[in-house]
Amino acid sequence: MISAIENKSRQNKLSLSKSSNLKDIRQIKDVLTRLVMTFGGISVIIAITLIAIYLIWVVVPLFLPAHISKTTGFAIPGSDAGHALYYAMEEQREIAMRVRDDGTIIFFNTSDGSIISTESLAIENESAVSSFAAGSPTTRLLGFGMSDGSVVLRYHQYNVSYPND
């Protein structure tokens, strides 16, 4: 009978030590879970705060008054003779074109106003330009109606190069 009591007490000690080990493991898991959940929650709050700051940074300037400043200035090339019928600029905004009412087309640099090229319409019978029309910016087609009833079409094209590539 003593051996049965000893066996029971040994089993109780083993089960008590197992349950205390399980409690310790459970406490460690609880602490780790609490830390991970706290870190995740704080991370979400920080992320939402950063998103709100970014949105405020982007949206607030929309409500501020606009301002403009002059960066450069020059006399318009070819303004000494003839009135301008049309202005155009290539997509990099480095070269502009001016079409005058005498049929002269002037290409100039937009940064300093220096003339790059000047072209004239090949006008027969010395007829004058009586009307002008420009197509859509994508077609870059120009139409000149002449005083003798003829039409002269011109197409302006810009060669794009990348010198630093």
* 55-84 pLDDT tens trace: 999 999 999 998 888 877 777 776 677 788
Do residues 158 and 88 touch, judged by C-beta distance below 8 A? no
* 85-139 pLDDT tens trace: 888 888 888 888 898 888 888 999 888 888 898 888 866 667 788 888 888 878 8
Residue with tokens 């937009």: 110
34 vs 152 pLDDT, higher one: 34
Residue with tokens 């009586």: 130
Beta bridge partners of 131: 145
pLDDT score recorded for residue 124 = 66
Do residues 68 and 55 touch, judged by C-beta distance below 8 A? no
pTM given for the model: 0.55
- For CA atoms 119, 121, 127, 130, the dihedral sign is negative
